[in-house]
Amino acid sequence: MTTALLRTRLTLPEALMAFLHNKDGQAYQSARPDALTAAAELGELALAGHVHLEGDRFSAVSPAPSAPGRAWMAELTAALPPQPVPIRDWIRKRRTALATQQVEALAQGVLTKDRAKLFGVFGYDRHRVDPALRAALLAELDGPAARSVPRAQALARLLTSSALHRHLDLDDTRRHRLEQLAEDRSDTPLPGPLFTAMDVAIASAVAPSVLGE
């Protein structure tokens, strides 16, 4: 099994969208979806070379990378101040992350969108996950090649730290392998600063729900 989706096609937040939505097409609120998506955005910005990580802070790389990327990457980095930004503060202020990445995921075929009614009265947008694509992502995370793909480990950390993996139909063996991928620092080339920054970002996203805030 190759890792084409996580290596070349999808960004980290786009891949997260495949797991952040339930069967009714709504984001799992227990995972604090805006904050968790913002953590994924920061991970992607770092992986793509748009930001420089400094412990619990980050700053824009100048000049910006010339490699093509999503428009939101350039927009976010252009809005950063010249001084390093605290990750926790940025995560909490990034309130449009989910809406932004739902649009991106629609464009990449991760999600489809329609309208539904709550209690037959209140209309809302329903974002459905492509089941075949989600299965392919799970297969990539479960395969041995995932250990050589930083984006795969970052996604595994997002899923396990937020407990989203508990909503997946995984047997104990696959769940254990996913948790190992999320924690293993020895074989996966996830840069040390990114590992630290992702931990800070994920903690900023999920800690309020753990604390009941």
Instruction: Work out the percent of the chain whose per-residue pLDDT is above 70.
Output: 89
d(C-alpha 93, C-alpha 96), whole Å? 9
pLDDT band at 188 (very low <50, low <70, confident <90, very high): low
pTM of the entire structure?
Answer: 0.90
The pLDDT assigned to 118 comes to 65
Give the pLDDT of residue 212: 39
Query: Could you give the CA distance from residue 118 to residue 156 in angstroms, rounded to a whole number?
Result: 32
Q: What is the pLDDT of residues 8-43, one digit of tens each?
A: 899 999 999 999 999 989 999 999 999 999 999 999
The arithmetic mean of pLDDT across residues 183-203, rounded, is 75
Distance CA 206, CA 155 (A): 15
8 A C-beta contact, residue 12 and residue 190: no
Interval 171-181: pLDDT, tens: 999 999 999 99
Task: State the average pLDDT over residues 196-204.
Answer: 87
Across the chain, mean pLDDT equals 88
| Residues 89/7/130/162 CA torsion (nearest 10 deg) | -40
- The values of phi and psi at residue 188, to 5°, are -95, 130
